[in-house]
Amino acid sequence: MGQVVKFFGWLLLGIGGTLAVFSHLTIGFVYGWDKLVQMVTSDPTGTALVVLAFVPGGLLYGLGVLIEKMGKRSDEKWAAKQAAAKRAAPSADTQAES
């Protein structure tokens, strides 16, 4: 489950990065680089909104990492319980001999 959530996080990060890069490149190529610099310096709200596209992707990726860590912990606890149960229970070979 954690891998799926991390995948969608990477997907959103990729989409956000692509939008950020190519929107600014398009403005630079179409209207000129001086116009792009003027737009970013005079009204940086658009650039800030593009950066906010990374927030949902980062949150999903972090959630996926957390889910994976929690899953590993529960797997380790389950394995430890199984090992303890094996050690505590008498084996069938020792019961058959006595």
As a whole number of angstroms, the distance between CA 28 and CA 38 comes to: 11
Task: Identify whether 57 is part of a domain.
Answer: yes
Query: What is the CB neighbour count within 10 angstroms for residue 74?
Result: 10
* Residue 24 backbone phi and psi in degrees, to 5: -70, -40
Task: Identify whether 22 is part of a domain.
Answer: yes
Task: Identify whether 94 is part of a domain.
Answer: no
**Arithmetic mean of pLDDT, 83-95:** 71
Domain of 83, in residue numbers: 2-88
pTM, full prediction: 0.64
As a whole number of angstroms, the distance between CA 12 and CA 18 comes to: 10
Q: How many domains does the chain have?
A: 1
Per-residue pLDDT tens for 17-61? 888 888 889 989 999 999 988 988 888 887 777 778 788 999 999
Q: How far is residue 1 from each of residues 39, 50, 68, 69, 91, measured CA to CA in Å?
A: 42, 29, 8, 11, 36
Q: What is the pLDDT of residue 2?
A: 85
Task: Identify whether 39 is part of a domain.
Answer: yes
Per-residue pLDDT tens for 1-12? 888 999 999 999
Task: Identify whether 98 is part of a domain.
Answer: no
**Arithmetic mean of pLDDT, 60-69:** 92
Task: Identify whether 97 is part of a domain.
Answer: no
